[in-house]
Amino acid sequence: MTGAAAPALQLRGLSKRFGATVAVDRLDLDIPAGSFYGVVGPNGAGKTTTLSMATGLLRPDAGSVGVLGINLWSRPAEAKALLGVLPDGLHTFDRLTGAELISYAGRLRGLDRATVRARRDDLLAALDLADAASTLVMDYSAGMTKKIGLACALVHAPRVLVLDEPFEAVDPVSGAAIRHLLAGFVEAGGTVVLSSHVMALVERLCDRVAIVGGGRVLAAGTLDQVRAGASLEERFVAWVGGPQERDLAWLRRS
Amino acid sequence: MAAAVIGIRLRSQAHLLAREPWRAVILGLGLVWLLLMLPSLVWGRTALALQPGDIRADALVAVFTLVAVGWVVVPIATSGLDDTLDPARFRSLGVAAGRLMPGLAAGALLTIPAIATSVALAGLATSWAADGVGALAVALAGAVLTVACLVVGARVAAAWTADALSSSRSRLTTLVLAAVGVAALVPAAWQLHAQGLEAFIEVDADTLIHQLGLTPLGAGAAAPLALVAGDPLGVVWRLGMQAAWLALLLGAWRAIVDRALVAPPSIGTGTRRTRDEVLDPRPSLFAPRESAARAVRTRLRRAWRTDPRYLAMLAGAFILPALLGLVAVPGLGLDERWLYVCPLALAASSGWGRHNDVAYDSTAVWMDVTAGSLGPAVMRGRMSAALAWAAPSVAVVALAMLAVTGRWADAPGLLGACAGVMGLTLGISAVASVLVPYRVPAPGQSPFGAEVGSVGAGLLAQLASSAATLALVPLVLAPFILSLVVAPWWGAVALALGVVVGVGGYLGGVRLGGAAYDARAGALLAAVA
C-alpha cells in the first residue's frame, strides 16, 4: 500500500517499555488519509509515547510506523518530510525570535529563502503573532509558544500534522483561528492527528477518534461509531473507568 | 520545617537512585573514593602534628584557602551544585524563606563534597590535639565555621555568577571585571617569572599565607596558633570574623532564596530583534552553505552570545590556558617556549569542551530530529558555530605568545599544531556528544545546577572523549615539539600535518557524528531530557 491508498499513519504492534512500566503495548492503529483524527485517553494512557514513536522522536521497542505508506524508521528522511509535528511540554529554541523560529524550521526542511519568508509572514499573520514576530520566544506566553510551534509544524506544508494538545493554553480567539486553519488543511486533503483531553473539542473537530488506555487502543473508528449513541465523554468514561468516589468533606466549610 | 525539607531531599535522592540505578553506582564510587582518602588524611594529620605550631598553622591556612578557592571555582567551572533543593521548587508552596533556610542549609551540607570537606578539615584540625583541649576546641570551631562558609559561599557564588551571565548589561559588567582581574594577575605573573618559584616561596609565600590567615579564607585555620601563643584576643577576633563572614554569606543566600521564591519561572529580557538572522545571516568565517547547517549555526551562535549555560562553558574554555600562561609557566620558571601550551590548551579545551554539545539543546532537540535525517547538517552547523569563536581566539593567543617569545620562526609549526589539535578535538566531540550525552541544566535553569550523580555521568563521558583525544593529539604535537627541540624544518611538517589532520578530524567528526545522530535520532530526546 503506498501513496493515496495508504493510511496517513499506520501503527502496527508498537510497543515501548520504560523499566518496569509498559507505556505502549502492541498498539495497532490506522489513521486514514484526509481525516481529522482525535486520540483521547486518560493521563498516562500512552498517547504522548505513541505519538512520539509515530513521529520519529522515540524509537519503539517493537512494531512499525507507516506514513502514507513509507516506513518511518527505515526511511526516516522521506517519511519525516511528510510530517508536521507539535509535541507537548518540550522546549523550543527560545533564544530565537518568533519569526526566526519559523524560518529555522523552514530552512531545516530545505525550503529556499523566498518561500520561507513568504510563508513565515503568512503564518505569523494567520496565528495573530505578527506583533510578536521580533520578540524572543523565551518572552512568549504559553499560548503564544504553542502557536509558534504550530507555525513551525506547518511551514513546510506537510501532508500529515501530528499535534499533541495543540489548544492547551491558547485563548479562545486564537483557538478559533487554529480550528479554522486546521479545518482548511483537512479540506485540502491533509490529515490532522491531535491528542486532547477535551472531549467537547474532539467531538467538535474530529471525524474519527481513538480511545487509548493502558498503552492499547480500546476503541477506534468514526466519531459516531465510537460514541455509539452516547456522548464521547460518556463512552470515554465507560472505556477507561469513572472517577473514584471519595468524599472530601474537609473541603466544605460548613 | 527543616526536617521536612531534609526529608524531601533524601526521598528525592532515593527515588532518583531507584529510577536510575547507575547513579547509585556513581554515588557508591564517590563513597569508596572518600574512604580511600582516609589513610592520606591520617598521614597528613600525623605529619602536621609533628610540626612546630607556626608551620602547622601556615600549612592549614594554605590548605583551607585552596579548598575555599576550589569550592568556588569547581562548581562554576565544571561540576555544578546539587540542585535537588532549588528554592524555586518551593515557589508554589507559599513558604517563607526564613522557614526554608535551615532545611536548605542542612541539605547543602548533606552532599558528598560537603561531607568529604568536613571530614578532611576537621581531621586536619585535630593535629592541634597535643597542644591541649583549648587549642583543639578552637581548631575544630575554626574548621566548622570554615566548612559552613565554603558550603554557603559556593551557593552564593554560583547564584551570583548565574545572574552575572543572565543579561547583556550584567554580562558586560562581568566581562569588564574579568578583564580587570586578568590585568591584575599579569604583574603577579611577571613577578613570579622574574623571581622564580623558589624565591617567590621563600620571600613572598610566607607573607601571603600570613595575610590569608587574617582573612575569612584562613582565619579559622590560624586561630589555634593565636591561643597557643597566648593571644586569646587573637582567637576571638579570628573566629568572630569567620562567624561574621558566615552571617554575611547566609544573609546573601537568604536574599537569593527570597527572590527565587517570588520571581516568575522565566524572566524575559524583553529583547526585540527586527532582523531575521536565520533567514538573512551575517557573513562570517567557516559558515556552511547548506540551508539546514547554516540555520543550526545561526541559532548556536545566538546561544554562544546570550545563553548563560554557553557563556559559562565559554569562560571555562579559557581558564586552563590562562592558568598555564599566567601562573604555571612563570611560576615554574619554565623556558619561554612553554608559553606555546597556552594556544594549544585553548585549542584543546575549545574542541574537547564540546563533547556534550547536543545535550545543551535539551528537549528542544525535537525540532532537529523531526525535521528529517539531518545529522551531518546539524553537526556541521553546531561545530562551525564553535569554530567561529574558537579559531580566532586560538589564533590571537598563538600570535600573542609568539610576540612574547619573539620566535616568529616557530609560527608555522605552532599554528599547524593548533589547527590539528582543534580540528581533532572538535571532531572527537562531535561523535562523543551524540554517543555519550549526559544531562545538563535545561534552558532557563542555572548553568551551575546538577543532579545527584551527574558529575559521575559527566566524568565517564569526559574520560571517553579524553582517551580518544590523548590517543590522537600526539600525532600533531610531535612534529611541532621536534621543530622546537631538534630542527626548525619540522615546523613545516607540523604545519602541513596539522592542517591536514585538523581539517580531516573536523570533517570526519562531522560526518561520523552526523551518521551517529541519525542512527540515534530515536534515542537522543530521552538521553538529554
Q: What is the 3-state secondary structure (H, E, C) of B446-491?
A: CCCEECCCHHHHHHHHHHHHHHHHHHHCHHHHHHHHHHHHCCCCHH
Q: Which residue has the cell 529554541?
A: A93
Backbone angles phi, psi at B144, to 5 degrees: -65, -45
Query: Which site among B276, B297, B307 would you substitute to test the A interface, given the most A Cβ atoms closer than 10 Å to its Cβ?
Result: B276
**B331 lies in a domain?**
yes
Residues B233 and B344 in one domain: no
CB contact under 8 A, A93 and B373: no
Residues B229 and B315 in one domain: no
First to last CA, chain A: 65
Scanning every residue of chain A, which has its alpha carbon at the shortest distance from the alpha carbon of B292? Answer: A108
CB contact under 8 A, A77 and B372: yes
Which residues in A lie closer than 8 A to residue B300 (C-beta atoms)? Answer: none
What value does the mean pLDDT take over residues B447-462? 65
Residues B423 and B503 in one domain: yes
Q: Tell me, what DSSP letter sits at residue B328?
A: I
Which residues in B lie closer than 8 A to residue A158 (C-beta atoms)? Answer: none
B69 half-sphere exposure, CB direction, 13 A CA radius: 7
The pLDDT-based confidence of B467 (bands split at 50, 70, 90) is confident
**B274 lies in a domain?**
no
CB contact under 8 A, A138 and B444: yes
Residues B341 and B242 in one domain: no
Residues B210 and B318 in one domain: no
CB contact under 8 A, B273 and A110: no
Of A76, A95, A139, the CB nearest to B521: A76
Residues B240 and B334 in one domain: no
CB contact under 8 A, A96 and B266: no
Position B186 pLDDT exceeds 80: no
User: Mean pLDDT for chain B?
Assistant: 84
ipTM above 0.90, yes or no: yes
Q: How many CB atoms lie within 10 A of CB A41?
A: 25
Cβ–Cβ under 8 Å, residues B160 and B151: no
**How close is the nearest chain A Cα to the Cα of B464, in Å?**
25
**How close is the nearest chain A Cα to the Cα of B283, in Å?**
16
Report the domain count for chain B. Answer: 2
What value does the mean pLDDT take over residues A81-101? 94
Scanning every residue of chain B, which has its alpha carbon at the shortest distance from the alpha carbon of A108? Answer: B292
Which residues in A lie closer than 8 A to residue B267 (C-beta atoms)? Answer: none
Strands in A9-18's sheet, in edge-to-edge order, are A21-31, A9-18, A62-67, A70-71
Residues B80 and B161 in one domain: yes
Residues B313 and B202 in one domain: no
Position B502 pLDDT exceeds 60: yes
CB contact under 8 A, A87 and B366: yes
Which residues in A lie closer than 8 A to residue B371 (C-beta atoms)? Answer: 80, 105, 108-109
A69 half-sphere exposure, CB direction, 13 A CA radius: 7
What value does the mean pLDDT take over residues B73-80? 68
CB contact under 8 A, B372 and A80: yes
Question: What per-residue confidence (pLDDT) applies to A125?
Answer: 94
Scanning every residue of chain A, which has its alpha carbon at the shortest distance from the alpha carbon of B270? Answer: A139
* Chains A, B: CB pairs < 8 Å: 136
User: Mean pLDDT for chain A?
Assistant: 92
Position B199 pLDDT exceeds 80: no
Of B299, B369, B444, the CB nearest to A56: B369
Cβ–Cβ under 8 Å, residues B515 and B433: no
Tell me which of B89-93, B170-174, B177-181, B247-251 is least confident. B170-174
Tell me which of A66-75, B197-206, B492-501 is least confident. B197-206
Which residues sit opposite A208 in a β-bridge? A37, A222
What value does the mean pLDDT take over residues B336-357? 91
**A135 by DSSP, 3-state: which?**
strand
**B270 lies in a domain?**
no
Of A60, A91, A95, the CB nearest to B442: A91
Measuring CA to CA, how many Å separate B355 from each of B204, B253, B438, B467?
A: 40, 33, 10, 12
Which residues in B lie closer than 8 A to residue A19 (C-beta atoms)? Answer: 19
Cβ–Cβ under 8 Å, residues B85 and B9: yes
Scanning every residue of chain B, which has its alpha carbon at the shortest distance from the alpha carbon of A93? Answer: B364
Helices (H), B274-374: 291-306, 308-323, 329-331, 341-352, 365-370
CB contact under 8 A, B372 and A91: no
CB contact under 8 A, B372 and A105: no
Distance (Å, whole) CA A196 – CA A184: 20
Tell me which of B239-253, B292-306, B319-333, B365-379 is least confident. B319-333
Which residues in B lie closer than 8 A to residue A95 (C-beta atoms)? Answer: 299, 302-303, 306-307, 443
Of A56, A89, A96, the CB nearest to B370: A56
Instruction: Please classify residue B444 by burial: count the beta carbons closer than 10 Å to its beta carbon, then call 0-12 exposed, 13-18 middle and 19+ buried.
Output: middle
Cβ–Cβ under 8 Å, residues B155 and B81: yes
Scanning every residue of chain B, which has its alpha carbon at the shortest distance from the alpha carbon of A74? Answer: B519
What value does the mean pLDDT take over residues A196-213? 91
CB contact under 8 A, A110 and B292: yes
Q: What is the pLDDT of residues A41-71, one digit of tens each?
A: 988 889 999 999 999 999 999 999 999 999 9
Of B154, B77, B81, B66, nearest in space to B318 by CA: B77
Position B267 pLDDT exceeds 60: no
**How close is the nearest chain B Cα to the Cα of A120, in Å?**
10
Residues B300 and B257 in one domain: no
Position B389 pLDDT exceeds 80: yes
CB contact under 8 A, A90 and B268: no
**B351 lies in a domain?**
yes
Ramachandran quadrant class, B74 (left: phi over 0; alpha: psi -120 to 50; beta: rest): alpha
Measured over the CA atoms of residue B254, residue B255, residue B260 and residue B261, the dihedral's sign is positive
Residues B21 and B114 in one domain: yes
Higher pLDDT, B435 or B317: B435
Residues B120 and B165 in one domain: yes
Domain that holds residue B214: 2-171+185-262
* Domain boundaries of chain A, sorted by first residue: 83-157
Question: What per-residue confidence (pLDDT) applies to A225?
Answer: 93
Higher pLDDT, B11 or A84: A84
Question: What per-residue confidence (pLDDT) applies to A1?
Answer: 46
Q: What percent of chain B has pLDDT over 90?
A: 33
CB contact under 8 A, B278 and A107: yes
**How close is the nearest chain A Cα to the Cα of B125, in Å?**
47
Which residues in B lie closer than 8 A to residue A107 (C-beta atoms)? Answer: 278-279, 291-292, 294-295
